[in-house]
Amino acid sequence: MSIDLILCGASGRLGLEIIKEIENDSSIKLVACVSSKKNQNIGKKISEFTDFSSDTELKSSLEGVLKPDVILDVSSPDFFEEIVKFSKSNNVPLIVASTGHNDEQLNALKELSQSVPIMITPNLSIGINFIKKTFNSLPFSALKNNIQIHETHHKGKIDSPSGTAIELKNLLESKKEELNVSVKSFRDDNSVGIHKIIMNMEDETLEITHTANSRKIFALGAITAIKWIYRQTPGLYNLSNI
């Protein structure tokens, strides 16, 4: 038995990487792919404009799509309302791996999590989530009050700072009331994602850097998340829960 998946943001860089990994995993079945209405490949099968074998048609909305087992969103906040409405009306677990959402949208996810399993994970990398778990064991009382986060991505990334940097900032500031975490964003031609956390202590500096060498790491994280959220009860989760 396979897990039926709807992938929103299917034609983007990450979306295509996820499709590639799904083709190598028989436990997940891609039943619908959604992309922007402006995409020139709307109405075509994935196999018609990629090297993949999938015959799933690229759609511009969720209208008429049958109920799946899981929805994975790697699109943009522009499509948020339709995705949330579909998840709520069909009682389908939702993984939100897109970024740039406002407080109202995040609150909507929290409300939906009372009846549907919801995972919010701006970064699908296992490494980033390992860092987040590590923060839980650090002696934050020894840190000076200023921490810097430097994030670097390709110049095509829309949101700045990145959702991962914002999530790390919020996590760090929750550990010590006096902490002030600043974020600096950099953009270049081809960085997939680099996050550096610089923490000053008495006469020493601790730096933690995560470098994404390819988007495959995010696709593999997505596969892990899909298989996990499918079996969960309603609640609000992140990748660190796995």
- Kind of pairing between the strands at 204-212 and 193-201: antiparallel
pLDDT band at 84 (very low <50, low <70, confident <90, very high): very high
What's the pLDDT score for residue 146? 86
Range among 25-39, 137-151, 167-181 rated most confident? 25-39
Taking the alpha carbons of 214, 105, 159, 208 in that order, is the dihedral positive or negative?
negative
What's the pLDDT score for residue 144? 79
Average pLDDT over residues 135-140: 80
The greatest distance separating any two alpha carbons of the chain, rounded to the nearest whole angstrom, comes to 62
Q: Is the pLDDT of residue 1 over 80?
A: no
Residues 165/195, Cβ–Cβ less than 8 Å: yes
What's the pLDDT score for residue 48? 93
Instruction: Say what the alpha-carbon torsion angle 76, 172, 151, 84 is, to the nearest 10 degrees.
Output: 0
Taking the alpha carbons of 85, 88, 94, 100 in that order, is the dihedral positive or negative?
positive
Active site residues: 153, 157
pLDDT tens digits, one per residue of 22-75: 999 999 999 999 998 888 999 999 999 999 999 999 999 999 999 999 999 999
pTM of the predicted model as reported, rounded to 2 decimal places: 0.85
Residue 96: how many other CB atoms lie within 10 Å:
26
